[in-house]
Amino acid sequence: MKNKYICNSLFQRGSRGILLLAVILFTQYTHAQVANDVVGANSTGMGGFNSTLSDVWSTNNNQAGLGFMTDISGGIFYENRFLLKETSYRAGAFVLPVKTGAFGLSVASFGYSAYSETKAGVSYGQRFGDNFSLGVQINYLNTKLNQDYGSKNSLTGAIGFIAKLNKEITMGVHIYNPTRSKLAEYDTEKIPTIMKLGLDYRFSKKVMVGVETEKDLNYNAIVKAGIEYHITEIFYLRGGISTSPTLSSFGFGLQMKNFKMDVSSSFHQTLGLTPGISLIYQKKKSSKKVDNPSI
């Protein structure tokens, strides 16, 4: 149903509308709903790998990462998919640590006036000891077509966990929409249920390699692999790849006291370049140190 309405709207715009249709359908089949997209230029710079990371973007990527957060944090993210303003992606997040975990708020939007998706979520992650964390999220989703077709609202959730198997290896698991909530009654159209399983290996405090597989119940599995190299105290360098379709990516990060800036770019051989940038502010709340899975 949804793709039919998108087609009708965009075909009326001629050749540029057809290009937008191709990009939006590509986004639908590789990222599914806006609520499950990869958020944060650190992750997009590593081919989309994120299931074991713990940072402000854990509010979206794997809520279990919130369990290891000890700093009050806020972030914004912007991605210009294939250099088209109509397919731009915007997100923001806020994390408030508590005694044994953290609460998170997140919001994200994708699209333009003729077609857009918006998501708002509330999440919580709690650690159990030093090596295990569990997280959950409730999401409100709004899918809006042009004025002829209106919009649809729905609720869904997510659950994840992170386990540090030893000093070098961390495992992350995340399930988006485990309840298989519906987007619309028409043709019983369901919000995708997507599962991720990832492992990272830390050669040292400076080098981390991660591999992740993502499976939408309706599509083939995607494999993502990324590397992060903490070259100096303030500079990070990243690279990655993903499959189905094949994307290559790279990026870098700058740590500036309480601020961090990450920049990324991914490349699709047909649709072209997708640049992204994120800014994070962290305010120290406690001197207590928790061994954070992210570098």
Beta strand extents in the chain (DSSP E only): 71-80, 88-98, 101-112, 115-128, 132-145, 151-164, 169-176, 182-184, 189-190, 194-202, 207-216, 222-230, 235-242, 247-256, 259-268, 272-284
Compute the average pLDDT of residues 279-294.
68
pLDDT tens track for 250-265: 999 999 989 999 999 9
- The model carries a pTM of 0.86
- Residue with the bigger pLDDT between 295 and 209: it is 209
pLDDT tens track for 106-115: 999 998 877 8
With contact defined as beta carbons under 8 Å apart, do 52 and 43 qualify? Answer: no
Compute the average pLDDT of residues 235-249.
95
What percent of the chain stands above pLDDT 90? 65
For 2-284, CATH gives 2.40.160.40
With contact defined as beta carbons under 8 Å apart, do 121 and 132 qualify? Answer: no
With contact defined as beta carbons under 8 Å apart, do 27 and 6 qualify? Answer: no
DSSP per-residue codes, 228-282:
EEE-SSSEEEEEEEETTTTEEEEEEEEEETTEEEEEEEEEETTTEEEEEEEEEEE
**Range of weakest confidence among 96-100, 154-158, 283-287:** 283-287
Compute the average pLDDT of residues 117-127.
96
Residue 73 has a pLDDT of: 97
pLDDT band at 289 (very low <50, low <70, confident <90, very high): very low
Taking the C-alpha atoms of residue 198 and residue 191, their distance in angstroms, rounded to an integer, is 22
pLDDT band at 77 (very low <50, low <70, confident <90, very high): very high
pLDDT tens track for 153-200: 899 999 999 999 999 999 999 999 999 888 766 656 788 899 999 999
Residue 34 C-alpha from the chain's centroid: 9
Compute the average pLDDT of residues 267-285.
91
Domain boundaries, the chain: 2-284
With contact defined as beta carbons under 8 Å apart, do 11 and 21 qualify? Answer: yes
pLDDT tens track for 196-229: 999 999 999 999 999 999 999 888 999 999 999 9
Angle at 142 between CA 198 and CA 34, to 5 degrees: 25
The yes-or-no verdict on residue 295 having pLDDT over 60 is no
